[in-house]
Amino acid sequence: MRAVQIHQPGGPEVLAISDVDTPTPSGNEILIEVKAAGVNFIDTYQRSGLYPMEFPFVPGLECAGVVIGLGDEVTTFSVGDRVAVGQGDGSYAEQRTAPAERVVALPDAVSFDHAAASMVQALTAHYLTVDTYPLRPGDRCLIHAGAGGTGRLLIQMAKHAGAEVFTTVGTPAKAELAASAGADHVINYNETDFAAEVRARAGTERPLDVVYDGVGASVFEASLGLLRKRGLMATFGNASGPVPPVSPLALMSGGSLFLTRPTLFDYTETRDDLVDRAEAVFARIADGSLDIRIDSKYPLEAAAQSHVDLEARMTTGKLLLVP
């Protein structure tokens, strides 16, 4: 079968299409025919070596497809089932295996594309707004990169919870996309200092209850300065580079602030957590209350280009690979 392999850390050019052996499911594994695979920033971190991996490997956490094989211990799925998975690796391929306990059933009302676009970004937006800092009506939040795949979903979930949403974007076109998702205040960071603009619009020096930050180094310090006493900074991505070490005394002087670096796995660690979160997201996709925007679809042979486009921050929604 065809798959994208990485043999050494590096830039997008290390993504190489290869003919590899078809995986064989064993024990509690299932074999999935991949219909669509999501491209995420974590894939670029693994590719570059920022997140250590054992090489060679086939990247790609998330995909959606059809069950075409079962290990001899699987009792929860059957051949022909529509499914989705968002952890492990191996999704940049025509087929991949996954442990049955990490796979979720896909309702007929949710497309393969939308499912593959949801298992990382939408579940991330869900855990951040429902559990990491549970938003309530009247809360004020800042969401960086509001036109991106995760950012636009965060905006929708924050508005669903009744929060007042500030968001940052880099272009007028992206500003329109963030506004269309429901953001109350859209700030173009290339035209103004985002922190000063948040303060001006809120009318106070430290107006925010929470910051959801997938950008990292370039916005971290200024964002921390916008939090109210006992406010929370959730830094969940490194699009501009990893955040440098933070002194606990800086959190004290900022007003007993909370800082967390959450991961999706810790919020879907149990089978029940994973299924409950996925079902909540799928239900909102199915009823139309959560808009999943697909920016571009690439063949496996163009995986390198998908990483180039993602890292250039030229995209305004989800990138998919379609075998």
Q: What is the pLDDT of residues 218-272, one digit of tens each?
A: 999 999 999 999 999 999 988 888 899 999 999 999 999 999 999 999 999 999 9
Burial class (CB in 10 A: 0-12, 13-18, 19+), 317: buried
Structure-derived torsion over alpha carbons of residues 36, 41, 46, 47, reported in degrees to the nearest 10? 80
Does residue 131 lie in a domain region?
A: yes
* Shared domain check, 29 and 85: yes
Does residue 200 share a domain with residue 158? yes
**DSSP H or E segment with residue 113:** helix 112-116
- Provide the number of structural domains found in the chain: 2
Cα dihedral 184/320/62/22 (nearest 10):
180
Answer whether residue 312 is part of any domain.
yes
CATH number at residue 246: 3.40.50.720
Q: Is the pLDDT of residue 313 over 80?
A: no
- Note the pTM of the prediction, 2 decimals: 0.92
Range of the domain at 24: 2-117+292-321
Say if 277 falls within a structural domain. no
- Residue 316's pLDDT is 77
Report pLDDT digits (tens) over 91-135: 999 999 999 999 999 999 999 999 999 999 999 999 999 999 999
Q: Both 95 and 162 in a single domain? A: no
* Residue 149 scores a pLDDT above 90: no
* 126 within some domain: yes
Q: For residues 255 and 138, state if they share a domain.
A: yes
* 282 in any annotated domain: no
